[in-house]
Chain A
Amino acid sequence: MTALGTRPDVAVAAASAGPATTRRGLPGRRRMRYALTVMVFLLPSLVPLLAFVIGPMISAAWTSLHSWNLIGPMSWVGLDNYAHLFTDPATRDAFLHTVWYIVGYLPIVYVGGLALALALNTRLRGRAGLRGMYFLPVITSWVVVALVWRWLLSPSNGVVNSVLAWFGVEGPGWWSDPAWAMPSIILASAWKDLGFVMVILLAGLQSINPDLYEAAQLDGAGWWRRLFSVTLPMLSPSTFFVIVLSLINGFQVFDQVYVMTGGGPNNSSQVVVQQVYDLTFRYGQAGMASALSWLLFFVIMLVTLVQFYGQKRWVNYD
């Protein structure tokens, strides 16, 4: 949950322009004082950002060109780490599992979130209370969500399998079964994020001009026709935002995997960030871990760029 209500491009343009006073005419002493004031205001954020984000980012690139166990000295290996990652089946699997997570998660939260948003976008008793309930998982931590769902989906005495048993269905092994581990993680994640997607889509729905619906109705368009011809096209900016954010976050999925399965059983739910964590803290391959995290960064950048270029084909900003 970041990037609230800010349009970076607009903000940059405005920051460059600023108030229409020019400081060029100031005498030397006042200019010094002005510069000093700017420094005092900026340094509290600039120093931490340099020390804890930009610096480490560059340092990670340097580390990725070395073999290093976090304790001893680094030894230069050039691009060997990257070469290894491109041929390593474990890396390929980690990326495949991450994509599998996204492919399972995104349709559920989008369709579910849209259904709830459409339902709540009507005059209805108890609307605020319902919206509040759907939003509760959003403010709960991933760790708690993952623990609770691990318990709900416990194969032997979890409540989900108990309920299934009432209907004579023998529930699967969920997180203990390699085939069901990832679906379990997807289920828990979709549950947590549904309310988040709903609120974003609801805000999008409320900004659609009601005249459009009236015109569509006069033309004899039914509910489904209005959904596909008016609502979805007008909602496309919000949809775009949900997809971009879901992909960025999806590629970085970690907390719920770490807690629910630890990447298992049999590595069946091993995702990229879990692999970065394991390489660093279990196998002492910090250089390889840095290379993998840079690779992940490139993939995320690439996927995001492709979406921004592709958006003109389907996103409607009228």
Chain B
Amino acid sequence: MTKPLAARIALYVVLIVGAVIMVFPFVWTVVTSLTPGATLTTTPRLIPEDPSLSPYIELFDRVPFARVIGNSLLIAVVSTLLQLVTSAMAAYVFARMPFPGRGALFVLYLATMMIPFQVLIVPLFAEMKTLGLINTYAGAILPTIATAFGVFLLRQAITTVPYDLDQAATLDGAGHFRIFVQIILPLIRPALATLAVFAFLNTWNSFLWPLIILRDPLMQTLPVALTSLQGQYSTQWDVLMAGSVISIIPMFALYVFAQKYIVQGVAGAGLK
């Protein structure tokens, strides 16, 4: 297709304006975090006159921020690992082990995807209170360890593995556990990676449930700690932006290494 010059220029204008709008807020976040004393009265300069890391130091003075980062990491890692295990095991049954009523059970799993989390807030909080799990890691992690989404994704992947491989292994005397661990899991690694990335991203960024269950400042995750900082020091944008930078960095790093899985995962969603 040949394109007239005007069309090419229009194309570049759209793309460049778009890129500036998308990237500028991140640049501004970093700039603000390096401009100590950005208060309610001045707008920082794009190139700070006297850049300094003191907002970061102040952040760690004000909040147990190292502990908060640790909380976020622990919760995200444990939740992701458990989600991988529970999803893969269930997916294996739904792909490879028929039994009466399996289709109906699958529909039940499906149905849980349609329940908005907000409906669960009150009873889940009450349940955790009864179990004594308010302000605990277990309380934050447990509701996230099994998702129908993970089961689906991995079931789809397992069904693409040729059934002959299972049968050959069965002839060699392998049971379901060995087939699952030695044949299926290695062959669905790309799907496991996609699920791992999304599970980590979702837990690391999640807000509503940690906000409700983790009330103690020592137990809070990054997003929750950031909002409590806003409440206490609403004018200290430099400190808040320093915290934002810290919470973005791991996601950007993950994105650089796992871009393929993230973009493919999202793109696959819209195709029939």
Q: How far is the CA of A242 from the CA of B266 in the complex (A)?
A: 11
Q: How far is the CA of A107 from the CA of B176 in the complex (A)?
A: 50
Q: How far is the CA of A21 from the CA of B226 in the complex (A)?
A: 55
Q: Per-residue 0/1 for B67-95: is the Cβ within 8 Å of any A Cβ (1 yes, 0 no)?
A: 00000000000000000011101101111
Cβ of A83 under 8 Å from chain B:
no
Residues of A within 8 A of B223 (CB): 141-144, 255
* Nearest chain A residue, comparing its CB with the CB of B124: A56
Are A293 and B121 in contact (CB-based, < 8 A)? yes
Residues of B within 8 A of A242 (CB): 270
Partner of B255, one of A124, A134, A136: A136
Are B113 and A2 in contact (CB-based, < 8 A)? yes
Contact A297/B119 with A54-B112, A139-B255 known, Cβ cut-off 8 Å: yes
- Number of B residues whose C-beta is below 8 Å from A? 113
What's the minimum C-beta distance from A308 to chain B, rounded to whole angstroms?
A: 12
Are B86 and A45 in contact (CB-based, < 8 A)? yes
What's the minimum C-beta distance from A273 to chain B, rounded to whole angstroms?
A: 5
Residues of B within 8 A of A263 (CB): none
Chain A residues numbered 16-53 whose CB sits less than 8 Å from any CB in chain B? 16, 18-19, 21, 23, 34-35, 37-38, 40-42, 44-49, 51-53
Cβ of B122 under 8 Å from chain A:
yes
What's the minimum C-beta distance from B3 to chain A, rounded to whole angstroms?
A: 8
Residue among A7, A42, A294 with max Cβ neighbours from chain B (10 Å): A42
Cβ of A223 under 8 Å from chain B:
yes
What's the minimum C-beta distance from B130 to chain A, rounded to whole angstroms?
A: 11
Are A16 and B41 in contact (CB-based, < 8 A)? no
Taking residues whose C-beta sits less than 8 angstroms from the other chain, chain A's interface range is: 35 or more
Cβ of B232 under 8 Å from chain A:
no
What's the minimum C-beta distance from A90 to chain B, rounded to whole angstroms?
A: 17
Residues of B within 8 A of A143 (CB): 205, 207, 223-224, 226-227, 247
Are A147 and B240 in contact (CB-based, < 8 A)? yes
Are A45 and B263 in contact (CB-based, < 8 A)? no
Q: How far is the CA of A157 from the CA of B3 in the complex (A)?
A: 44
Cβ of B189 under 8 Å from chain A:
no
* Nearest chain B residue, comparing its CB with the CB of A52: B143
Are A207 and B97 in contact (CB-based, < 8 A)? no
Q: Per-residue 0/1 for A1-21: is the Cβ within 8 Å of any B Cβ (1 yes, 0 no)?
A: 111111110011011101101
Are B43 and A159 in contact (CB-based, < 8 A)? yes
Cβ of B159 under 8 Å from chain A:
yes
Residues of B within 8 A of A5 (CB): 153, 156, 265, 268-269, 271
Q: How far is the CA of A160 from the CA of B159 in the complex (A)?
A: 51
Partner of B18, one of A21, A57, A116, A238: A116
Are B208 and A12 in contact (CB-based, < 8 A)? no
Q: How far is the CA of A141 from the CA of B143 in the complex (A)?
A: 19
Q: How far is the CA of A131 from the CA of B247 in the complex (A)?
A: 22
Q: Per-residue 0/1 for A282-318: is the Cβ within 8 Å of any B Cβ (1 yes, 0 no)?
A: 0000100110011011001100000000000000010
Contact A42/B93 with A6-B156, A12-B110, A297-B119 known, Cβ cut-off 8 Å: yes
What's the minimum C-beta distance from B138 to chain A, rounded to whole angstroms?
A: 12
* Nearest chain B residue, comparing its CB with the CB of A158: B43
Q: How far is the CA of A269 from the CA of B204 in the complex (A)?
A: 26
Interface SS of chain A:
helix
Q: How far is the CA of A55 from the CA of B143 in the complex (A)?
A: 12
Residue among A45, A142, A317 with max Cβ neighbours from chain B (10 Å): A45
Chain B residues numbered 7-23 whose CB sits less than 8 Å from any CB in chain A? 7, 11, 14-15, 18-19, 21-23
What's the minimum C-beta distance from A298 to chain B, rounded to whole angstroms?
A: 10
Q: How far is the CA of A12 from the CA of B111 in the complex (A)?
A: 12
Residues of A within 8 A of B19 (CB): 130, 133-134
Contact A49/B109 with A237-B272, A242-B270 known, Cβ cut-off 8 Å: yes
Residues of A within 8 A of B226 (CB): 143-144, 147
* Nearest chain B residue, comparing its CB with the CB of A165: B43
What's the minimum C-beta distance from B7 to chain A, rounded to whole angstroms?
A: 7
Are A60 and B265 in contact (CB-based, < 8 A)? no
Q: How far is the CA of A60 from the CA of B241 in the complex (A)?
A: 38
Residues of A within 8 A of B262 (CB): 135, 139
Are A3 and B40 in contact (CB-based, < 8 A)? no
Are B122 and A53 in contact (CB-based, < 8 A)? no
* Nearest chain B residue, comparing its CB with the CB of A151: B237
* Nearest chain B residue, comparing its CB with the CB of A156: B40
Cβ of A200 under 8 Å from chain B:
yes
What's the minimum C-beta distance from B268 to chain A, rounded to whole angstroms?
A: 3
What's the minimum C-beta distance from A170 to chain B, rounded to whole angstroms?
A: 15
Are A19 and B163 in contact (CB-based, < 8 A)? yes
Are A35 and B99 in contact (CB-based, < 8 A)? yes
Chain B residues numbered 154-174 whose CB sits less than 8 Å from any CB in chain A? 155-156, 159, 163
Are A276 and B121 in contact (CB-based, < 8 A)? yes
Q: How far is the CA of A83 from the CA of B144 in the complex (A)?
A: 34
Partner of A48, one of B86, B105, B163, B176: B86
Q: Per-residue 0/1 for A45-87: is the Cβ within 8 Å of any B Cβ (1 yes, 0 no)?
A: 1111101111111011001000000100000000000000000
Are A45 and B15 in contact (CB-based, < 8 A)? no
Q: List 27 A-B contacts (CB under 8 A).
A: A1-B265, A4-B149, A7-B272, A12-B103, A12-B106, A12-B107, A21-B98, A41-B89, A42-B89, A42-B90, A42-B93, A44-B90, A48-B86, A48-B146, A51-B127, A56-B119, A56-B120, A134-B22, A136-B255, A140-B251, A143-B207, A144-B244, A148-B28, A151-B32, A200-B267, A286-B122, A290-B122
